Amino acid sequence: MTSFATPLYKVGTVLALVSSKHEERGDFDLAKSQILAIDAGGTMTDTFIIDEKGDFVVGKAQTTPDDEHIGLLNSSKDALDQWDSSVKTEFPNLLAGVYSGTAMLNRLVARVGKKVGLVLNKGMEDTHRMGRGVQSHLGYSYADRIHVNTHHFDEPLVPRKWTVGVTERVDLFGNVVIPLYEHEIEDAIQKLIDDGVEAIVISLLHSYKYPIHERIIRDVAEKMIKEQNKEIKVFATTDYYPVRKESHRTNTTIVEAYAAEPSRKTLEKLEQSLQDNGANFDLRIMASHGGTISIQANELARTAVSGPIGGMVGAKYLSDNLGIKNVACSDIGGTSFDIGLITEGDLAIDSSPDMARLVLSLPLVSMDTTGAGTGSYVRIDPNYGNLTLGPDSAGSLVGVCNPESGIETVTVSDCHVVLGLINPDNFIGGTIQLSRERAYQAVKEQVADPLGLSVEDAAFGVTELLESQLKNYLESMILGKGYSPSQYVCFSYGGGGPLHTAGYTKGLGFEDILIPAWAAGFSAFGCGAADFEYRYDKTLDLNVAEKASDDQIIEAGSELQAAWDELKARVSDEFHKNGYTGDEVKYRLLFRMQYQGQLNDLEIEAPIEVFENVSDYRKLVKAFEDTYEKVYAKSALSPELGYSITAAIVRGVVEVAQPKIPKESLTEETPPEESYLGTRDVYWDGEWINADIYEMEKLLPGNKLGSFSIIESTATTLVVPIGFETYLDENRIFHLKELD
């Protein structure tokens, strides 16, 4: 296996740490390295290590999916080589470690999890196998979504033979319609035990309103398992995801049993590897809601999608420090293009996302992903003769240009090499020597000749097609939310982001376009910037008329407060596993509300710390309506419909070390002489251009570059094409400007 462990870059005095808790202990006097943030993507594993002086390094190594700790250590060694140091020297000084990876998601996609048994209402045993209709076309292109003959259902996580039913029925209001037939429980559980299942999930209709029946079945199952000396964990949905939507809730709890529990073992192995190398901290994992949680967390399925979330969290952290309220986030890696919005300083949360072609009940930072990256395969459609990109990708193998890859199909990276946009001798620091000859011949045979184009025009057409698709994705997301790009600042990051930023932002009219110098490790940076935070949700159905009596308001408010208290206790229990007491936890109370009869609710932070009286209810309504008129319009306010509080939410945070973005002194606009590397011929829009090449690490704040410029780092490449210019600000962030 090819090792990608090679130094990437170091930018001095860009980040500093702030943590009063650790300053009081004096740890800052003892430590050099302070935070280790890890992003194990499908292609590369990035590590972001920050010391007490504010210096940071980014390491990069090939992801090792069969044993992720190998890629983690290789990447860490890569980073620490920049300090002429080692893992053994630095790991004992670390105060915190945060990890994001793809192991759990890969298990779901490949359907290689535990053998799970499922207990449902009798008569409903086929519902999981049937699935929601949308699951038949999740992840498809628009063309395939509208043609039903292309739809198909994946195999269910739990096959029908391991699904059993027990008689009971609770209605949507939480009333018991049919009592639980307790005499049926033992036979149902025994069948699953005899079938050799490794976990049991219990999901009854409307159990989030009436949890007693699920807990009775859970207790009987656990008693039987203990008596028979079996190692089978029982998961009742009411203990994990007490929320509305039966398919989503059932799927999510199955994911806990099927994929999260095996992944917990992987994470424990990672933590043990860190400890074997001297680390002494509790490893935290990036969770779907944008915070980090312990590997001992009850609801570990929240960490299934963590890498792209790191980028969004990093963008929010950076924008908060820069005072930017509206940000369009765009992340290009080797396999995908991830986009999301930060509006009025807030990350939007999707409470019913989909993942691995499953509908789920997880709070997920709202973002879209498409299979278009620098490693995407390029093909000619045999039916129509047009170019197609992806969605499959060569990932870490790069493309035909990598002689050791074994790849035969052209990728976008091959086109970069043909056009001269990337230096084939400096890819990942020169560890992989790319071959322009191999790329040229492959593009000629597979793309140029079939289209009747020159090799250069074919390669340029591929990059134009990619950028056109990315531009459409980004613009449609913003317009679809009722906003305009002119209201947003665009953040571009990821290893492939700076290559294409100009192309996919051209003409959109963003307020500004920012590219951090550490763009290639930005998701890992986001992991290091994330709070240590747990979030728990509970579905409610509290309907309050516009002119409700005080007694009705107090009754609804009391039920809301009871839900908050229940969720606060669960958050406190999670932090207790890591030795934090209630006094160290800062709680945030949130709720979801809508007008009665409407389909969509809004998530709002409560302007109160505890519900005590009618005045507190008025504050909740005002907070809801202030948000409502921002999302829709003031004229859309409909208080005459009455209000529905649909969910209670509690987020708990404890203080951890985080990076801080300082300012550096600006210098002159002309780059220093030592940053200039010479020129290189680049093919651009029908002609060869002599491009100026600069070394990213040697540019200084205040430097301004025009077109045609290529700014190279061993981690990424920033292209400043015709019609654009860029300057480097005091935070080592490049501003890309489209000229009039």
CB distance 632 to 481 below 8 Å = no
DSSP state of 153: P
Q: Do 92 and 72 touch, CB atoms closer than 8 A?
A: no
Report whether pLDDT(17) > 70: no
Contact yes or no for 733/517 (Cβ under 8 A): yes
Q: What is the mean pLDDT of residues 290-317?
A: 87
Confidence check: pLDDT of 18 > 60: no
**322 has pLDDT over 50:** yes
Q: List the structure tokens of 90.
A: 């630095």
pLDDT tens, 171-198?
Answer: 999 999 999 999 999 999 999 999 999 9
pLDDT higher than threshold 90 for residue 25: no
Kindly tell me if the per-residue pLDDT of 525 is higher than 80: yes
Distance CA 696, CA 716 (A): 9
Task: Say if residues 432 and 393 touch (Cβ distance below 8 Å).
Answer: no
pLDDT for the residue 33: 67
Q: For residues 380 and 409, is the Cβ–Cβ distance under 8 A?
A: no
Query: Residue 43: what pLDDT?
Result: 67
Q: Which two tokens stand for residue 675?
A: 């940053």
Q: Are 510 and 517 in contact (CB under 8 A)?
A: no
d(C-alpha 311, C-alpha 521), whole Å: 9
CATH of domain 307-370+466-529: 3.30.420.260
Place of tokens 């009063």: 20
Tokens found for residue 57: 């390094």
Q: Tell me the CATH number for domain 534-654.
A: 3.30.1490
Percent of the chain residues past pLDDT 90, beyond the cut: 56
Closest CA to 32 of 12, 8, 56, 10: 56
Tell me what pLDDT residue 429 has.
66
pLDDT band at 366 (very low <50, low <70, confident <90, very high): confident
Beta strand 733-738 with 337-343: parallel, antiparallel or unpaired? unpaired
Q: Is-cis flag, bond preceding 672, omega within 30?
A: no
3-class state of residue 533 by DSSP: strand
The tokens of 489 are what? 């600042």
The domain limits of the chain are: 9-106+264-303, 109-263, 307-370+466-529, 376-457, 534-654, 673-738
Q: Decide: 118 and 164 in contact? Cβ < 8 Å.
A: yes
Give the residue with greater pLDDT, 587 vs 397.
587
Q: What is the pLDDT of residue 150?
A: 83
Q: How far apart are alpha carbons 106 and 402 in whole angstroms?
A: 25
Q: pTM for the complete prediction? A: 0.83
Residue from 204, 202, 201 nearest 178 by CA: 204
**Res. 2: pLDDT tops 70:** no
Phi, psi angle pair for 246, to nearest 5°: -65, -45
Q: What is the DSSP letter of 691?
A: E
Q: Tell me the average pLDDT of the chain.
A: 88
Which of 131 and 514 is assigned the larger pLDDT?
514
Region 102-129: mean pLDDT is 89
| Structural tokens at position 39 | 């992003």
Higher pLDDT, 186 or 392: 186
Q: What does the pLDDT look like over 408-463, one tens digit per residue?
A: 999 999 999 999 999 888 776 666 789 999 999 999 999 999 999 999 999 999 99
Of 243-247, 274-278, 429-433, which gets the smallest average pLDDT?
429-433
Residue that wins the pLDDT comparison between 33 and 387: 387
The arithmetic mean of pLDDT across residues 597-615, rounded, is 94
Higher pLDDT, 457 or 383: 457
Nearest Cα residue to 605 out of 318, 347, 315 = 347
Q: At what angle do helices 497-505 and 455-480 cross, to 10 degrees?
A: 70
| 1-10, 169-178, 634-643, 686-695: segment of lowest average pLDDT | 1-10
Note whether 412 and 375 are within 8 A (CB): yes
Q: Is the pLDDT of residue 302 over 80?
A: yes
Look at the block and give the residue holding tokens 């665009």: 490
Q: Are 158 and 141 in contact (CB under 8 A)?
A: no
What pLDDT band is residue 493 in, cutting at 50, 70 and 90? very high
Judge whether residue 607 has pLDDT over 60. yes
Ranges 160-169, 238-247, 426-435, 669-678: which has the least confidence? 426-435
Q: Residue 430: its pLDDT value, please?
A: 65
Listing DSSP states for 249-308 in one string gives HHHHHHHIIIIIHHHHHHHHHHHHHHHHTT--S--EEE-TTSSEEETT-S-GGGGSS-HH
What the block records as the tokens of 665 is 């002194």
pLDDT digits (tens, 9 = 90+) for 569-581: 999 999 998 888 7
Report the alpha-carbon angle 83-89-90, nearest 5: 65
Residue 480, SS3? Answer: helix
* Residue found under tokens 């799970």: 116
Range scoring the smallest mean pLDDT among 2-6, 159-163, 177-181, 224-228: 2-6
- The confidence score (pLDDT) of residue 215 equals 97
CB 724 within 8 A of CB 707: yes
Three-state DSSP class for 497?
helix
DSSP 373-437: STTEEEEE-TTT--EEEEEEE-GGG--TTSTTS---S-BHHHHHHHHT-S-TTSBGGGTB---HH
**Which tokens belong to 197?**
């299942």
Least confident of 407-416, 434-443, 542-551, 624-633: 624-633
Are 9-106+264-303 and 307-370+466-529 equal in CATH topology?
Answer: yes
Give the class (CATH, top level) of 9-106+264-303.
Answer: alpha beta
pLDDT at 695: 94
> What does the pLDDT read at residue 383?
82
Q: CB within 8 A of 540, min separation 6: which ones?
A: 559, 560, 563, 645, 646, 647, 648
**What is the arithmetic mean of pLDDT over 72-92?**
85
